[in-house]
Amino acid sequence: MVYSEFERALLQTYFSVVDGPEHADIYLVRNLPAEVAATLNGVYSRSSKSMRDQFLDRLQQGLQAQGRSLESLGPPAPAVDALSSVMADKSGQFLKTYAIDHGHNSLREGSVVHLAVERVSQLVTRFVQRERRCSFEESSTRYIPFTAEMHWRDPDVMAAGGDLAAAYEATLRETFALYTTATERLLAHLQRLRPLAAGEKEGPWLRTLKAEAFDAARYLLTPAIFTKWGMVVDARTLGDVITELKSHPLAEFRLVGERMQQQAETALPTLLRHAKGNAFAQSLQQLLPGIVRELGVAPAPRHTGPATGHTELLAFDPQLDDRLLASLLFEHSDQPFTVLLQHVQAMTAGQRQDLLTQVMQKRGPHDAWPLGFEGAMPFEFETVLDFGAYRDIGRHRKGLQQQQLLTTAHGFAVPPLMQEAGLAGDYTTVLERAAERQHLLAQRFPHAAGYVTPFAFLQRVRIVFDPRQTAYFVELRSGPEGHFSYRQVALDMLAHVRKVTPLFAQWIRAKEGSAFLGRLDSEMTADERRQRRMQAAGDA
């Protein structure tokens, strides 16, 4: 975007970079009130604009409502005055002495930055967003269409040239071409299937149909597609993230780590000084695959056609119901946990049921589960699901999630809507060709091959959630407005939990049954809420 001189000066006050590079455009958000910064972070999911452009748009809208122009603000105030510079220098000396030299890492957690990370691949995004100590807000594939120019080309593959580079480019070209066609045809199919009803508002109806079409079409996207996200993170955690990125075998990951560090150091000149590639982490990238081969663990048989995911329960606490009840009582007693557990185990089944009913009967629709429900061994699941769904499941970072290297060996999911709209044939043909090309690339570039593994392909993921997080996940992700694939994972998890811990499971409020355009009601309701807020603001 081309900015006027005044806009450029204004943006320089609040963003560390005004004209960023085509890829990995990372900049610091500064000098903004906390609520304004949080708002800009939150609008990422439903806007294709950068945070800088959103800032200008919202500022101009507010001024126009007052009958003013942008230039009426006068010259932007300097970002840092002389006194602030002195204070920053003193702070830097203090932090170097205690946080760096003496290793008091808790001091590093008190310094927080807000980074905007734009035009980076889905692959590096998923890697960074594994971190459980950050807050993220990302663009949604449900609300934002993509363009063919938004793809990362791995430089090592491109340098290899020949069949490998050709396979990479062909996969991006063919999958995205069908994505574009499918989006239009799926939307037209839904408009015929579910026309606007009398009395309905067109805006929420059209948003719902577009989201449904994008949910199916996104299976043709690849992790090379660019996305953008906001990241709020303390200095200690950011240092760890940068070290992981700079230790990674992929060039893009190292580049993103370097640019994160460059931008964050403008606000944290001391605390990130020692973030660099780690020799131990780098050695594990070579060592562990070799150990797998030495153990004789054979690769999974390749199945590159349509396939169905599944979820298995690997481990659970056989005393979970009793231990959860004892855990609920623990903070309100002075007895050891073992004594409380004995008392609970001495109860009849009816008494345990009554006790849990007393605890849970007043829980409201938005109330969190009591903390005590974390007080038993976790559930350990292994699920084979499409990467598109895992992008959403991976956001549940309160627990352990392990994802294997992206592959096409487990086959691919076919969204029901793709079949209903008559696109299954083209869809299958394109993905089968993508599987062959990805396999060719993976033989020499196993990590870079992840960039051309379309979202539709199934991946194996291990998920370890405590009981409280399991219940939260099932309640949230089983909603009718959710994506059909991760919704099925949530319902499968619930089915396993019901078999082994029925007392606990009966209080999980899952939304079961089939759902067609399940988000339509929520879109209509959200639209009405927005109208009420706008009306209230106008009255004020």
What is the predicted pLDDT for the residue at 412? 97
pLDDT at 525 over 70: no
What does the pLDDT average to over 38-58?
Answer: 82
What is the mean pLDDT of the segment spanning 520-538? 54
DSSP strand pairing (379-386 vs 458-465)? antiparallel
Task: Tell me if 438 sits within 8 A of 409, measured CB to CB.
Answer: no
Rounded distance between C-alpha atoms, residue 455 and residue 461, angstroms: 14
- pLDDT above 90 for 108: no
pLDDT band at 307 (very low <50, low <70, confident <90, very high): very high
- Average pLDDT estimate for 80-101: 47
Look at residue 146 and tell me whether its pLDDT is greater than 60: yes
User: Are residues 50 and 40 in contact, defined by beta-carbon separation less than 8 angstroms?
Assistant: no
Residue 205 — pLDDT band, cuts 50, 70, 90? confident
Do 519 and 480 contact (CB within 8 A), yes or no? yes
**Of the listed ranges 379-383, 397-401, 408-412, the one predicted with least confidence:** 397-401
Tokens, residue 428: 């299958």
CA distances to 114, 237, 265, 269 from 91, rounded to whole Å, are 19, 19, 14, 10
For the chain, what is the mean pLDDT?
A: 87
Q: Does residue 12 or residue 37 have the better pLDDT?
A: 12
Q: What size, in residues, is the chain?
A: 540
Judged against a pLDDT cut of 60, whether residue 95 lies above it is answered with no
Q: Which is higher by pLDDT, 84 or 248?
A: 248
- Each residue's pLDDT tens digit, 322-344: 999 999 999 999 999 999 999 99
Identify the pLDDT of residue 81: 39
Provide the pLDDT for residue 362.
Answer: 93
pLDDT surpassing 70 at residue 29? yes
SS3 content of the chain, % helix, strand, coil (to 5): 55, 10, 35
| Residue-level pLDDT at 61 | 80
402 pLDDT more than 90: yes
How sure is the predictor about 527, in pLDDT bands with cuts at 50, 70 and 90? Answer: low
| Residue 530 pLDDT greater than 60, yes or no | no
Q: Comparing 35-44, 319-328, 423-432, which segment has the lowest mean pLDDT?
A: 35-44
- Inform me whether the pLDDT recorded for 6 exceeds 70: yes
Q: Which residue has the higher pLDDT, 195 or 95?
A: 195
Helix (H, G, I), strand (E, B) or coil at 27: strand
Confidence of residue 524 (pLDDT cuts 50, 70, 90): low
Q: CA nearest 517: which of 404, 420, 372, 377?
A: 420
Residues 414, 306: contact at Cβ < 8 Å? yes
Task: Look at residue 401 in the predicted model and tell me its pLDDT.
Answer: 93
Contacts with 216 (C-beta within 8 Å, 6 or more apart), sequence order: 182, 186, 415, 417, 418
Output the CA torsion sign for 210, 39, 533, 481: positive
- Report the C-alpha dihedral over residues 189, 190, 195, 201, rounded to 10 degrees: -140
Query: Whole-model pTM above 0.95?
Result: no
For the segment 253-275, the average pLDDT, to the nearest whole number, is 89
Backbone angles phi, psi at 495, to 5 degrees: -60, -40
CATH number, span 5-79+91-140+226-271? 3.30.1360
Per-position b or e across 82-109, b if 16+ CB within 10 A of its CB? eeeeeeeeeeeeebeeebbeeeeeebbe
pLDDT at 91 over 90: no
Q: Positive or negative, the Cα torsion across 472, 138, 133, 288?
A: positive
Q: How confident is the model at residue 532 (pLDDT cuts 50, 70, 90)?
A: low
pLDDT digits (tens, 9 = 90+) for 266-282: 887 777 878 899 999 99
Range scoring the smallest mean pLDDT among 132-136, 299-303, 441-445, 480-484: 480-484
User: What per-residue confidence (pLDDT) applies to 79?
Assistant: 41
Given a cut of 80, whether residue 518 has pLDDT beyond it is no
Write down the residue that tokens 């990302």 correspond to: 138
* pLDDT the model gives residue 99: 53
pLDDT digits (tens, 9 = 90+) for 112-130: 889 999 999 999 999 999 9
Half-sphere exposure of 520 (CA within 13 A, CB side): 16
pLDDT digits (tens, 9 = 90+) for 159-191: 999 999 999 999 999 999 999 999 999 999 999
Could you tell me which residues are beta bridge partners of residue 384? 310, 460
Place of tokens 């078999």: 499
Section 452-478 average pLDDT: 96
- pLDDT score of 85 more than 50: no
User: Which of these ranges, 30-44, 264-278, 484-498, has the smallest mean pLDDT?
Assistant: 30-44
pLDDT score of 68: 78
DSSP assignment of 183-204: HHHHHHHHHHHSPPPTT--HHH
The yes-or-no verdict on residue 204 having pLDDT over 70 is yes
Q: Examine the pLDDT at 357 and tell me if it is beyond 80.
A: yes
Predicted confidence band at 83 (pLDDT cuts at 50, 70, 90)?
Answer: very low
